[in-house]
Structure 1
Amino acid sequence: MSISQAVISLKTFYQAALDNYAVIDASTEQPLLALNPYLRLAVYHGGELSQDHDTGLVVAPTFIAQQVLHKKEKRSGSLSLHGDAVHPQLPLQFIEHARQSRCVYFSLLMAECRRLRWLDIADDLQGLATLFHDEPWHLEMFALAYFYDLLANCSGGFDLHAASSHLPEQKQHRLLLLNTYLMQTPKLCNLIDDYVFFAFYNRWYHAPPYTPGAP
């Protein structure tokens, strides 16, 4: 299977998951339309993060990529996708679980790490999944920050995220690292905060969202 076929399939599978990603406002029983702009994917050229992490082509959230493009004021290497999709070696139940758990972007990033063999990043993501298994909004925040690094060629973010261990007592430390990273890019922070607010809209009755910079 060629890389281009794998990329096409990955985008096709995950865009289908996002197309079925509906949040119903519990108070009005109507779909939350404000979430829609955050649910599009495209294929982009990433930067070379290090000798071990050459991003190449990356399936990424469009709203994150647009922030990168706006910051750098340059045109993206977004690709037009053609031809029949060839199924990658990724179980369909894995994607369905991602949709149901509301961790679509975290799942997509894990799939990209497997495809591109970024095993150290995949290990870090797996550790985060263990730490925040009951807080999927945090997993999405970490994933979106990673995607920004992939597209913006900000290797420091990867070093920052991967620097900590995954012991339970490290949970607050990981949040502090994420907080510090996002506060360096306020527009990105606001975008991610808005996405998380709408994506997990009905959960805030039970657990308030984590807001970077809040006491």
Structure 2
Amino acid sequence: MSDRVSPSPITIETYTGAALAPFLGDLARLRITVFRAFPYLYEGDEAYERGYLETYVKTPHAAVILARAGGRVIGAATCLPLAAESANVQAPFRARGLAPERFFYFGESVLLADYRGQGIGVAFFTAREAHARAVSNADFATFCAVQRPPDHPARPRDYVPLDSFWRKRGFTPRPDLSCVMRWREVGATEESEHRLGFWVKSLTGAALP
């Protein structure tokens, strides 16, 4: 007879508005943990993270997809209308005459390392696309990812970029669209600028702009 404990089932659910509030602390700590690793190397602060995540509680049509195992938050993915995002994220679209209202912005997708490779990342994209279609008339989904040189000194030897995974989800890189964000890297004392490039996917069958 085995006394081995069965792994907790993983649930993936979409949360909006006030229903998100009880999870802000867990989400803040999750972001800090995952983004500390390469390629973001983000030195997070829980108070700042909570403030940032409040955006998803207060913004109409925003959502967070939560993955939980036995009640514990082990992953999350965010989304909201691009028109509700910060000016620096909208700027590259406006500069090229692309109306932010036509885009739904997928923010972070974070998952603890022990739970990767189980299809949760795919489920995150599926749920966000379903949410975007349900609450908006956006023609496109878009997200951005930090750009690091291949010879970055902190790049792990076994690091595999997610480009192939994103392409399989139907996204296309857009070298003409990029934005700058600021954060403090692990080991740094001051914030620095980081460039992020955008990927785009049609949600409605409309041709990519």
TM-score, with length taken from structure 1:
0.29
Between Structure 1 and Structure 2, the one with more helix by share is 1
Greater per-residue strand proportion: 2
Pick 1 or 2: higher relative contact order, CA cutoff 8 A, min separation 6.
Answer: 1
Q: Which has the larger radius of gyration?
A: 2
